[in-house]
Structure 1
Amino acid sequence: MGANMRTAITVVPPILANIQNSFSLPEWFLGSLTTIPLICFGLLSPTVTFFIRRFGILPVTMADLGLLAIGNFVRVYSFTGLLIGTICIGCGIAMLNVLAPTLVSYLFPMRIGTYTGMYVFAMSLSSAISAGFSSVISQWISWQVMMQFISIIPIVAIIVAVCLSVSQSKAEPNKGQAYHHGQTQTSPWKRPLAWALGGFMGLQSLLFYSILTWLPPILMASGIKQNTAGYLLGLLQITALPFSFIIPRIISEAKRQSTMVLTIAVIFVAGLSCLLLAPMSFWFAVVACVLLGLSTNMAFSEAMTLFNLKTRNPNETAAVSGMGQSFGYLLAAVGPMLCGWIHGLTGSWVVVIVFLIVILALMTSVGLLVDHERYVFSD
C-alpha cells in the first residue's frame, strides 16, 4: 500500500525535461503534472466512504490499485495518454490516501502507531528510489519504459490484497460487515476539529508537493547538475526512513500534539533557510534536503496519524480522512502552480522560498488547534 502512495508522482520531477522534449509541452503545463493528481485527491477523497460501504474496504483497495497500474502504463504514449494516465493515477492515489489510515484502523486498531509507521516507511523508501534514480535510469532504458515498469508495484499489492481478502473471509466471514458499525450521525464538514485536521493536511501537502516539484530547478539554479539534483531529491525522500517507524508511535502515544507540531516547524524553517544558502555551497543544499526530508515526513506522519487518533472507529476514520484530504489536497493543488507563477513573475527562487515559509507559519498555527478537542465526534 505505502509503496503506491507517492511513487507515480515523485518519479516525474527529475525527468520533467525529458517529458517536455518528448511531447513538446509548454512550460506552464509541467507544474500541472503534479497539480492534476492533487485536484483528483481533493475531488475524490469524500467518495471513498460511499464506495467502502457499497463494496467493502479490500475490493475498493484492489480496484484503486488496478487504476493506478493502468495510469502508469498508458501515460507514456502521447500527450493525450499522459493526461489520461495522470488523471488515472490521481484518482487511484486519491482513494488510497483515504484507505490507508482506514485500513490501519480496520485491521490493526490496537497498533495504529506501528502500522502507520510501516506504510509511511514503505512510502518514503519507494519515493526516495523513484525520485533519486529516475533521471539516471531514464538515460539507460528511456523514461517511457521506466514509468511502465512502475506498474509492477500496484500489481504486486493487488496480489497481496487478494490473499488477505481470501484469508479474512475464511477466518472471519462477518468481519467485512464490521465497518458498518458505529456510523457517524454528524457530518465531519460541520466539525471544527475536522477542519483543523484538513487544514493541517492541506498545508503540509502544499509544502511537500511544492518542494517536490520545484526542488530540482531550484538546485539547478544554484549550479547543481540535473542528475545530482535528482540524487538530492532522492536524499530528501530517504532521509526520514530511520524515523518512519518511530515518529507515528511517538505521535500516537503523546498526550498533546503541540510539541511535535512546533518541532516540525523548527526543522522546516532550518531546511528552507539552508536552501536559501545553497548558491553559496553545495553542502548547504545537502543539509537542506536532509532537513526538508525529515520535516516533510514528520508532517505527513502527524497528519495521517491524527486521522486515527481523533476518531474512534473505521467509519469515523474514513469520514474524517475523506473530508480532511478533500479539503486539504484541493488546498495543496494550488501550491506547485502558484510557486511556478511566483517564479515566473519575479524570476527569483528566493521569493518562492519565502512564500513557503509563510505557508509553514499557517500550517503551524492550524496544527496547534488539534489539541483543543479529544475527538472529532465528541459526545
Structure 2
Amino acid sequence: MRTETARNAVTYTPYGMLAILWLVGWTLRVPILTAPPLATNIANSFGLGEASIGALTMLPIVAVAFGAIPAAWIITKFGLRVAIVGGLICAGAASVGRGQVPSAELLFFASVIMGLGIAVCQTALPLATRTWTPTHLALGSTVYLNGMMAGELSAAGLTRPIILPLANFDWRIALILWAVPILIVAILVLLSRPANTDDSSNLPDRQNPSPVTSIPSLRDRRVWQYGILLGSSVLAFFIINAYSGSVLNARGESEALSALLLAYNTTPLLASLCLLLVPHWIGKRAPIAISGIAAVIGLSGFIIFDSWLSWMSALLVGYAATVKTILLISLPPKIANGTAVTRLSAGMTLIGFSLAFIIPLIGGWIADKTGTVVIALYPALAFLIIGLSALGRHSEYPHYK
C-alpha cells in the first residue's frame, strides 16, 4: 500500500497548481507591457516626451531588479503564499493607481510600486515551483514562464484592439480593466491548496534564525555566473525591441517595423511552447550554450545585414534569447532547496536585470555621440560574447547550497 501511494505521488500531475503557476506568470508581464500600447494616450494627458514614456516602461523593470533582494526577505519572513498574494495585490492596486494619479510624478511613483509587487512574485515563483509541483519541477518552471510569455503577448497585442474600446478609449479605465484579472489571480492563489506537497513553505521559515539567510551575497561567484548569463539573455531580447525602430528607419526600412515587431514579440510564446516539450533541458549546460551562441549570431546578423536577412536574424535573437532566459530562470528550483532557491533567484535577478538596463543606455549614449544608430547595438553584442565565458565547465549545473 505504501509503495502504491508513493508511486501515485510521483506520477500524479498537479494540474490545478500548474494552472495557478501559469496564471501568476501571466500577471507578471501584463501590467508592465500595457504602458507601451497606451503611450500616446498617456503622453497626451501629461505632456510627456519620448524619454519620459521610455522611463514609464523601464521603471517597473528597474524596480524588479532592485526589488529582488527585499523580495527575498519578504518571502522568508511572511511565507510563500502571503508574499505572492501581497505582491499581486500591490501590482494590481498600483496598476489601477497609475490610471488615477493627477501628475506625471505620481504616475512614475505608482509604476515603481507596481514593479516592486512584481519583483516579490517573480522572486517567489521558483520556490513556488519547488513547493507546489515538487514531482514536476521542470514542467512547473516552463509552465509559469509560458504564462509570462503569454502575458507579454496579451498586453502588447490586446490592449489597443480590445481593451481600449471596452474602456471607451479612456486609457485610465483600460488600466483598471487589466488590473481586474490580476486581483482575481491573487484570490485564486489565496484559496489554492497544493496536493501531495509539504505546505510548510507557505508559512514563514521557522527553522532559520533570520530571513537574512535568504538574501544573496554579491560575493557569491555562482550568483554572478548565473546573473551574467541571465543578463545577456534578457539584454539580447530587449535590445532589438529598443532599437529596431531607429535601425530600420536609418536603413529606409521603416515600413517593415510593425510586422517585424509583431513577429519578434511572438517568438517568446513560441519558444516557451517548444520548451514545454523538452523540460529535461533545465539544468543542462548545452541548451544554454547553444541558445547563447545563436543569440550572438542573430544579433550579429541584424547589425551586418539589411532587408529580410536582417529581419530573420532578429527573429533568431528573439527565439534564442527567450529559450536561454527560460532555462536560466528555471534553474534555481532545479539545483537548490529551501531558502537557497530564493537566494539564488534574487541574486540572479538583481544582477541580470541591472545589466540588461545599463548596457542599452551605454549603447544609446555612444550612438548619440557618434551619430550612428547601429553602434547602439555594439556594447550589447560585446557583452553577449563575453557572457559566454560564464557558461561553466559542467555538463549539468551542480547543486547550489
Deviations 1:169-211, CA, capped at 9 Å, x for gaps: 9x97756359555896996444321221122222322333333
Tell me, yes or no, if structure 1 residue 272 matches structure 2 residue 272.
no
Q: After alignment, is 26-35 or 300-309 more displaced?
A: 26-35
Q: CA RMSD in A?
A: 3.4
Change (3 A) 1:306 1:110: same
Match of 2:124 among 94, 99, 102: 99
| Counterpart secondary structure, 2:142 | helix
Could you say if the C-alpha distance between residues 244 and 317 of structure 1 is closer, same or farther in structure 2, counting changes exceeding 3 Å?
Answer: same
Unpaired runs of at least 5, structure 2: 1-23
Select between 152-161 and 176-185 the one with higher mean Cα deviation. 176-185
Give the CA deviation at 1:114: 0.5
1: CA distance, partners of 2:359 / 2:162 = 28
**Aligned mate of 1:195, from 224, 227, 247:** 224
User: Is this contact kept in 1: 2:264–2:315, CA < 8 A?
Assistant: yes
The 8 Å contact of residues 196 and 367 in structure 1, kept in 2 or not, is answered as yes
Partners of 1:101 and 1:173 lie apart in 2 by 15
Q: How does 1:172-183 map to 2 (within 5 A)?
A: 176-177=202-203, 180=206
**1:253-292 correspondence runs (5 A):** 253=281, 256-257=284-285, 259-276=286-303, 280-281=306-307, 283-284=308-309, 286-292=311-317
Alpha carbons of structure 1 residues 193 and 333: separation in structure 2 relative to 1, 3 Å: same
| Structure 1 range deviating more: 65-74 or 143-152 | 143-152
Q: C-alpha offsets along residues 138-180 of structure 1, whole Å, 9 cap, x if unaligned?
A: 875254443332212311211211221xx359x9775635955
Which blocks of at least 5 consecutive residues in structure 1 are unaligned? none
Q: CA deviation at 1:88?
A: 1.6
Check the 8 A contact 1:168/1:175 in 2, yes or no.
Answer: no
Seen in structure 2, the aligned counterparts of structure 1 residues 341 and 27 have a Cα distance that, compared at 3 Å, is farther
**1:87 partner letter:** V
* Among 183, 192, 209, the residue aligned to 1:155: 183
SS in 2 for 1:33: helix
Determine if the alignment matches structure 1 residue 232 to structure 2 residue 256: no
1:318–1:173 distance in 2 versus 1, CA, 3 Å: closer
The one of 213, 221, 230 aligned to 2:242: 213
Equivalent residue for 1:297, pick from 322, 335, 351: 322
Residues 34 and 336 in structure 1, CA contact (< 8 A), matched pair in contact too: no
Matched residue SS, 1:150? helix
CA–CA separation in structure 2 for the residues paired with 1:12 and 1:224: 26
Aligned AA for 1:155? L
Shift of residue 256, structure 1, vs aligned partner? 3.9
**Could you tell me which residue of structure 2 aligns to residue 81 of structure 1?**
106
Partner of 1:352: 376
Q: Does 1:58 align with 2:84?
A: no
User: How big is each residue's C-alpha offset from its partner over 1:204-237, in whole Å with a ceiling of 9 and x where there is no partner?
Assistant: 22333333333344445555668x7455334223
Q: For 2:48, what is the secondary structure of its paired residue?
A: coil
Bigger Rg, which one: 2
Under a length normalisation based on structure 2, what TM-score does the superposition of the two structures give? 0.79
- Secondary structure at the aligned position of 1:41 is classed as helix
| Aligned-residue offset at 1:337 | 3.0
Report whether the alignment pairs 1:71 with 2:97: no
Q: When the two structures are superposed, what TM-score results if normalisation uses the length of structure 1?
A: 0.83
Q: Percent identity?
A: 20
SS in structure 2 at match of 1:263: helix
Q: Distance in 1 between matches of 2:331 and 2:391?
A: 10
8 Å CA contact 2:25–2:144 kept in 1: the answer is: yes
Label 1:274 to 1:199 Cα distance change in 2 as closer, same or farther (>3 A). Answer: closer
The question of whether the paired residues in 2 share the 8 Å contact of 1:31 and 1:336 is answered with no
Task: For 2:33, give the aligned amino acid.
Answer: T
1:216, 1:15 → 2: CA distance?
18
SS of match in other structure, 1:30: helix
Q: CA–CA distance in 1 between the matches of 2:328 and 2:69?
A: 17
Aligned residues: 370
Q: Cα gap change, 1:168/1:303 in structure 2, threshold over 3 Å: closer, same or farther?
A: closer
Contact 2:281–2:287 (CA under 8 A) maintained in structure 1: no
2:235 and 2:355 in contact (8 A); partners too: yes
Letter in 2 for 1:328: G
Structure 1 residues 163 and 72 mapped into 2: Cα distance closer, same or farther (>3 Å)? same
Given that 1:128 and 1:233 are in contact with CA atoms closer than 8 Å, whether structure 2 keeps it comes out as no
Offset at residue 29 of structure 1 (A): 3.0
Partner residue in 2 for 1:130: 155
1:10 corresponds to which residue? 33
8 Å Cα contact 1:35-1:334 kept in structure 2: no
